[in-house]
Structure 1
């Protein structure tokens, strides 16, 4: 088995966990909402186009999503500190609280599916999460 095979298996396992959680929680909130709030939490306020790029969706799609999140009070638009013609999107305190609640619900839903892991397997999960997380999560930065 190659390293590419290992990465593919990891990606498929994570996708399966995500699907399982969505089914178990009966949560019909689009995954894009949680992804967008997570990106804003981790990267700070972003221009709409930059946020769309980070989330890997079209700018019109991100515009629609941001309008929905803004209507729900989960994000807010503000003025860019260096260019008043540009707006930036940021997560609101309510948005960050909702995200925290979602992660708690997600963890609770997944716990029964991974309860049988041994201590050694949990150590492997922790090492993998730390190793990959530190390499794929860029430092937070304010929107350009």
Structure 2
């Protein structure tokens, strides 16, 4: 397997695992909700357009999603201190709690699928997770947030 194929395989497998976990857990929240909350958790408050771009969705779609999340108390919109015509979306404490609960639920739901792994396999998974986490962080720090 070539390097690019290995990375692609990891990405595809993680997407499939997330879908499996959502299905097995009976969680009907849209994955876009968790993606938006994760981005806000990692990057802090962002303008709607920047959030839509980071989530790889349209601005109208993100506007609808943020409206739903705001009604549920998971995000809040405030005026951008640098541009009164714009708003900044921020995850609320309830939103971060919901995200943490979802992550815990993901882990618990998927855990049985990994019961038989050896210590070497777990070390490989832990190292892969660390490498991917580092790459995500370096990519995230290269993008802008609220002040785009």
Question: After TM superposition, is the score higher than 0.5?
Answer: yes
- Equivalent positions of 1:33-112 (< 5 A) are 33-112=33-112
Q: TM-score, normalised by structure 1?
A: 0.94
Aligned partners of 2:88 and 2:146 also within 8 Å: yes
The 2-side partners of 1:142 and 1:11 are apart by 24
Aligned-residue CA RMSD (Å): 1.4
Tell me by how many angstroms 1:12 deviates: 2.1
The 2-side partners of 1:73 and 1:134 are apart by 31
Q: Return 5+ residue gaps in structure 1 as ranges.
A: none
User: Match of 1:143?
Assistant: 146
- Between 1:43-52 and 1:81-90, the stretch displaced more is 81-90
Tell me by how many angstroms 1:84 deviates: 1.6
Aligned partners of 1:44 and 1:141 also within 8 Å: no
The 2-side partners of 1:11 and 1:69 are apart by 27
The 2-side partners of 1:86 and 1:12 are apart by 36
- Equivalent positions of 1:15-30 (< 5 A) are 15-30=15-30
> Per-residue CA shift, 1:38-94, capped at 9, x if unaligned?
100000000000000000000000000000000000000011121122110000011
> Per-residue CA shift, 1:113-132, capped at 9, x if unaligned?
11111111111111111112
SS at 1:77 equivalent: strand
User: Match of 1:126?
Assistant: 126
- Between 1:62-71 and 1:128-137, the stretch displaced more is 128-137
Aligned partners of 1:37 and 1:95 also within 8 Å: yes
Q: Return 5+ residue gaps in structure 2 as ranges.
A: none
Tell me by how many angstroms 1:136 deviates: 2.0
The 1-side partners of 2:129 and 2:108 are apart by 18
